[in-house]
Structure formats: C-alpha cells, structure tokens
Structure 1
Amino acid sequence: MSLFYNIWSKFSKSEFSRNVSSQILGTGLAQALPFLATPLLTRLFSEEDFALYTSFFATASIFAVGVGGKYHLAIVLPKEEVKAKKVFILSVYITISYSVLLAVLLPLFHSFFPDNLTVVLYYVPLYVLFFGLWSSYINVSIRHKTFTSNAYAKVLQAIGYILSAVAIGFSQILVYGLVIAKILGTVVSWLFLSKKSSIRFKLFSFRSLVPVAKEYIDYPKFGIWPSFLNTISLQALVLVLTKFYSTDDLGYFGLTFMVLSAPLGLIGTSYKDVFYQKITALMNEKKYIQGLVFFKKSALALFIMALPICGILYFLGEPIFAFVFGERWIRSGEFASILAFSFLVKLVVSPLSSIFNATNTLRTASQWQVLYFITTFATLLYGVYIAKLEVTSLLVVYVINEIILYGIYFWWQHRTIAKFVKL
C-alpha cells in the first residue's frame, strides 16, 4: 500500500495530474448527472425505448467514425498555430460534406436495418454532423490546454441531454425521446465550445488546405478504415443482440451500457485527452525515456482507479441495479457483473491508445483494430450460430475475448513507445 501511496502522491503534484483533475471534475459531473437522472429515465421510458436508443447510438457511432476525415485528431500536433488552424478548418469542411452525403445516401440502405430502427436512421446524419463539429473544437481545446472549457462543455452536454429527455418523457409530445435528447445535448456542448474557442471559423480555399491535408494524410489513410472496423467491433454486441436476441435483453443491456459508460467517460476519456497532450509534447521534444516512464505510470494509475469499480460491479451489480433503477432492471445488474472485467481492461488500455497518434504510428494501431474486428465477430457468431448460447453465456465468451485482445493491445502500445527509447 505504501508503494501505491508514494506513486499516487508524486503523480498528484504534477501539472499533468492537475489537468487530469480538471477533466475528471468536469467529466465526472457530466457522467454523474445522467447517471443520477437514469433512475427517473428508467421510469419515464420503457425497455423498448432503451433498446431503440442503444441501437441508434451503435449505428450513429459507426457512421461517426468518418467525421473530419480523422484530421481533427491532428489539430494537436502542429507547432505552428496557422497550420493547426488549417487542419481545424479542413476537419470542419470534411465533417459538413460527409454529413450531407450521409443524409442523401443512408435512406437508400434502410432495408438493411431492422424495421424498428428505420425511422430513427433519419436522425443519424444530424447527430454525426454535430458530433463532428464538437470533436474538432474539443481537439482545439486540448491543443491549447483549456481543459476547464472542455469540462464545462461536457457538463453542458449532460444537462442538455437530461433536460431534453425529462421534458420529452413527461410531456410525451415526441417519440424517440432519448435519441432526440442525445442530439440536443451535443448541440448545446458544441455551441459552448465554439464560443470559448481561441480559433474562429474562417473560410479557406480548398487549395490552401492541400498542404496540411497531404502532411497528415496518415490520419484518413490509416485512421478511418481501421477505426471503422474497431467501432463496429465495439458495437458488435449491440448489433448481435439486436439481430438475434429479444428486445427486452437489448433494453436491459442498453441500461448496462449507459451505466458502465459513466466511469469509462469519467476516467477514461478525461485521462485520454490530457495524456494525449502530454505524451505528444514529450515525443516532440524527443524525451523518449520520460515518455516511456510516463506511459507506465499512467497505466498503473488507471489500474488503481479501475480495480475498485470492477470489484463493486462484479460482487454487487444485481442488488445495486435493482435498488437504484427498480426491480425490473435487475437483469441489467446481472449483465454488469459479467462485463466487469471487460470494463477493467478497457479502462486501463483505451486511454493509452493515443500513443499511436502521438508517435504517428497509426499503421500499428490499425493492425490491432483489424485483429480485434475479426476475433470479436468470430467469437460472437460462434456463440450465436454454432454454440447457440443464451445471452449471459454469450457475454462471458465476449469478456474472455476482450481480456485477451486488450492485453495484446497494451503490449503493442508499450512496444511502440519502447522502440523510440532504443533509437
């Protein structure tokens, strides 16, 4: 225990930890508010509503992979501010064009989706548009270390979502309340970030953006397709539950997903934003040994934060869900207990994945993402078609695959940064 205390004591005094704390405070509120509102939402909306929202969000997340052509992730990298602004404008242009194209083409493929999802597919391009704009401004904020604005933006996103969902739930004036609320929350957050940003949107000719587009071409080249596969893999469980299992099971899983997303967002996303800025700075300054040490300390800190949450979910998932959300949602607690160890490995490994962006080794990351895609779908389809597993057994098999694959991912992350130390 003294070793953990000493590590944490040193870690907590650094500038990095102060930035993380700012992010965690804001993101904590952003995650806590929907979490606190969920017991009300589970009484305003049915299992079918949660199932529909879960399917919508899975579909929207897959299509959102293409926003900005992944150039928004490169906003942090340029040393010159003018170049960073051009990358930002490029990402906005691509996001708008992509969303319009999606709105035109997506209706042509409605027959490939379940009937109950067809109507809400019209909302997907709208969500993709505002999510893409939001992502560009978030990375501008990361570049300038304005993590407080990031935190406020995430809180406003949560408040916008809650107020919209509660208003729609009580009034019953609109259908698809959770879906519409998600979009409105994103819009509110984007508007706030755009007002606070030090970079103002300004029209640039496409010709003037060509040089930065070529310089950071690896982001769309090696980022979009592997990320597309990775996102499908992350949503694979939702897709399989939608296709092969009952709407009730999908709804129960939807609540489990929402609850587990809270600490993943609180710790994982907050840590990842600040980790990306810090590790990029160390790589640019060629401080490779410090970068490796920082990577290891970050992994240990994340593990220390994740372990207690995993234990609580595993041992107390069912009674907690029954007490907080109502007896009819105890099934969601059972799902949470099974997924606890998957949650643990994701929370430790996922925030560190920006090491590939910082070292501009996206090809390495893409190899893992392809492997993850293949093994995840192979595992789930084996469970459905060959083993014919019921839903809880399918979740167990899924968790085993997650632990193995994320273990490989962590090893690749460590190997990537260690190579720079040997140069």
Structure 2
Amino acid sequence: MWRKFSNSEFSRNVSSQILGTGIAQALPVLAMPLLTRLFTEDDFALYTSFFAVASILAVAVGGKYHLAIVLPKTEENAQKVFVLSVYLTLAYALAVAIVLPLFHAFFPENLRSILYYVPLYVLFFGMWSAYMNASIRHKTFTTNAVAKVLQAVGYIIAAIGLGFSKALAVGLVIAKIVGIVISWIFLTRKSPISFKRMPLRTLREMAKTYSDYPKYGIWPSFLSTISLQALVLILTKFYTLDDLGYYGLTFVVLSAPLTLIGNSYKDVFYQKIASLMNAQRYKEAVGFFEKSAVALLVTGIPICLVLYFFGEPLFGFVFGAKWERAGTFASILAFAFVARLVISPLSSIFNATNTLRIASKWQVLYFMSTFGTLLYCALFLELQVERLFLVYVVHEIVLYGFYFMLQYRTIKTYSKS
C-alpha cells in the first residue's frame, strides 16, 4: 500500500510542492536570526502593517479569474482565462495606485510612507498568481516549487543587503517586492501558457462562464483577508508598536508551517479534487476529502505541541533574548494557526463544486464575528494582549470547526445529487 501511494502521481506532486515550499519557508526562517539583529521591532512593525494592507488589497487581483485557469477542458479556453486575469490585474493595480493615496489620512502617520509600495506589490502578486495557476493546470509542480524557492532567496538577499547598508528604512518591504518579482520572471520563462494579447470581445464568454469567481470570490476573500489581518489592525489601533513588532515575528514564524503544508497541499488538492469532479468520480472525491482532513490534522498536532510547550525559550534562543515575548505569543496562538492549517486547504472544495456562495456566507459570518469579538475585547474590556490572544484562539477553533462542517456537507450533498 505504501509503495502504491509513494509511486502515485498525487504523492509525487505533493512531495515536490512540500519540498519546494519547505525550502522557500525554511530559508527566511533560517535567515530570521540575522534579520532580527539587523532590523528593530519598529522595522518589523512597519513590515507587518505593510503586509496587512497589501494582502487585503491583493485579494481582488485578476478578478479572481486566475483560480479558474485550472478548470477549462480545452487549452484555448484556459489561455483566454489566463489573459483575462492578466488584463484585470493590470487595471486593478493602476486603480489601487490612483485611489490609495486619497486614503492616506485614514492610516497612522508611521504607516503612510510604505503605502506607496502597495500598488507595486499588488501588480506583481497578481501576475505571479496567474502564472502559478497556469502551472498547476499543467501539473508542473516542480516549476512552482522552484519559483517559491527563488522568491525566498530574492527576499533574503535583498533584506540582508538593505539591512547591512541601512540605506532604506523600509528594507523588509522592498525585499518582499524584490522576491516576488524574481519569482514571477522565472515563471514567465517556464510557463506552459504564455501571455498573448487578445481583443476583449474574445474574452467575454470565459468572463461570463466563470463569473462566479469575481461575484462570489472577491468579497468573501476580501472579508477573509481582513479577518486574518484583524489582529494586526487591532494591535495597530489599541496596543503598542512593540506588541505589533513582536506579533510580526510570531506571524512570520507561524506562517512557515501554514505555507509549507497548507498551501502546498491546497494546490495539489484543488487539481486532484477538480479532476475527480470533472470525471464524475464522486465517491472517490468524498474519500479523498476525508483522508486529506485526517492527514492534515495528524501533521498539525506535533507542530502545535512544540510551539505550546517550548515557544518562549525557542524564540529567545534562536532570535535573541529580546524576542522571547514573541515566543510567548506563539505558544498562545499555536492552536489557532493549526486549526487554520487543517481546514483552510480543504476550502478548494467550494471552487471544485462551483458552490462559492456557501463559502461567501461563512466569510461574512467570520468577518463579523472576528472584528466584533476583538473590538469588544480591546475597546470595552481593555484586555491585555495575551488575554486578547486567548479569546482569539477560542474564536478561531469554533469558527473553523463550523467551516469544516460546511465543506464536508457540501461535497457529500454534491456527490449525492
């Protein structure tokens, strides 16, 4: 049984994704002991704020059509969806560059300087996402893995160089953009789908066929990303800059297993579950979903336990004594991050079954409950930051548990109908 599994196409694809993503995540973490000595808590706070704003605005790149590149049965239609995604990314990045400066006054003064870099990140992230999904369609997962490694290497080299030179106060922000640009250039050279200019009228059919992606994909993702960055926004408003900086390091470290396991598995899971649905092999799809949930849970539990029991001393030893408080944050938040690690990759089931409306309703509920809970605790109860994190953990476990129930019921109902 093990030999059959290890020789299967799916296991090879997962392995290449995990290997590439693992290296891509390990390199920044390995470089972090040096970066935490080159950059201050305020520098990490600035980067954390930039990444929160950029992540929120990046959810609408390409009108979410890049996620539909995997689905068309013909290469001609896939090419059209790809070009449509690129066109919309260019238009959206330009719109962000024009509109965002009008809202600078609504941001804290120490954050305004890095907002000018947000449109640039949004542009290259959107282009990068289109090429990544084109690669997923053609199962060239090794190319994706190499691209992720190059992104990490570019980020590290740029960050270390800017950190030593002290040339820019936003070195971590510039390094993030440099990394994604390098990765995008590599993907353009290796992609099985190349960009070709097409008249907009030829793209209308594909835009209509997959219109559920912008209709029911953008706003739920937008609300989801704001919710995921809720802690950053609350810490920025109600807590100290040091707390934000410590949380920034905690987020970077905890995001490593999330990206390594969750995103790697999600890419291959989406391709596999979509192919099973297209082939009408619904019973196999249900079984594959169940096995995936168990595998992710078994993988996440050891990570959670290590962080819970040894978070503070590990952070102090690796990143320096001044960062022990970030380890305290990590030991508290570990359970919430593991809940997300197990359940988030399985959300591709809504894309594969074209039931994005269900996901959108949950995202609205998640957004309202997250901000309602955190605002009440910070504004009215005035909880200390550690207690705020405890409330956040309970909230994540409950809401993501409900999300998993929706996922499982969706695939079971779809298979029966």
TM-score range, shorter chain: over 0.9
- Superposition deviation, residue 231 in structure 1: 0.6
Question: 1:357-396 alignment to 2 at 5 Å?
Answer: 357-396=351-390
In structure 2, C-alpha distance between the alignment counterparts of 1:340 and 1:260, rounded to whole Å:
7
* TM-score, length basis structure 2: 0.99
SS at match of 2:313: helix
CA shift, 1:219, in A, is: 0.2
Secondary structure of the corresponding residue to residue 145 of structure 1: coil
User: Residue 291 of structure 1 is aligned with which of 285, 309, 318?
Assistant: 285
Match of 1:256 among 233, 250, 258: 250
- The amino acid that maps onto 1:219 is Y
TM-superposed CA distance for 1:421, in Å, is 2.2
Question: In the alignment, what sits opposite 1:45?
Answer: 39
Partner of 1:24: 18
Q: How does 1:152-191 map to 2 (within 5 A)?
A: 152-191=146-185
* Counterpart Cα distance in 1 of 2:46 and 2:262: 26
**CA separation in 2, counterparts of 1:188 and 1:381?**
39
CA distance in 1, matches of 2:186, 2:169: 27
The amino acid of 1:54's aligned partner reads: T
Is 1:304 the counterpart of 2:291 in the alignment?
Answer: no
Q: Hey, what's the Cα distance between the residues in 2 that align with 1:132 and 1:324?
A: 34
Partner of 2:327: 333
What is residue 107 of structure 2 aligned with on the other side? 113
Measured in 1, the distance between the counterparts of 2:154 and 2:317 equals: 26
* Alignment of 1:87 onto 2:76: no
Q: Is the 8 A contact 2:134 2:193 kept in 1?
A: yes
TM-score (normalised: structure 1): 0.97
Rounded Cα–Cα distance in structure 1 between residues aligned with 2:6 and 2:356:
31
Give the superposition deviation at 1:12: 3.9
Q: What is the letter of the counterpart of residue 37 of structure 2?
A: R
Q: Residue 21 of structure 1 aligns to a residue in which SS?
A: helix
Shift of 1:14: 2.8
CA distance in 2 between counterparts of 1:91 and 1:108 reads 26
Q: 2:408 aligns with which of 397, 410, 414?
A: 414
- CA change 1:165–1:135 in 2 (3 A) is same
Q: Which residue of 2 aligns with 1:233?
A: 227
Aligned-pair distance for 1:175?
2.0
Query: How many angstroms apart in 2 are the aligned matches of 1:167 and 1:258?
Result: 20
Q: Which residue of 1 aligns with 2:216?
A: 222
Tell me whether 1:279 sits opposite 2:287 in the alignment.
Answer: no
Over residues 253-284 of structure 1, what are the superposed CA-to-partner deviations in whole Å (9 max), with x where a residue is unaligned? 00000000111111011000000000000000
For each residue in 1:383-402, what CA deviation from the matched residue of structure 2 results, as whole angstroms up to 9, or x when unmatched? 01221101000000001000
Q: Mind listing any 5+ residue stretches in structure 1 that lack a counterpart?
A: 1-5
Tell me, in whole angstroms, the C-alpha distance in 2 between the residues paired with 1:157 and 1:25: 14
Give the structure 2 partner of residue 3 of structure 1. none
User: 382, 390, 398: which is aligned to 1:404?
Assistant: 398
Give, as a single letter, the amino acid of the residue that structure 2 aligns with 1:347.
L
Give how far 1:10 is off: 6.3
Q: Which amino acid aligns with 1:86?
A: K
Secondary structure of the 1:293 match is helix
Letter in 2 for 1:46: T
1:13 CA drift (Å): 4.3
> What's the % identity of the aligned pairs?
68
For structure 2, the 5+ residue unaligned runs are none
Shift of 1:211: 0.6
Number of matched residues? 417
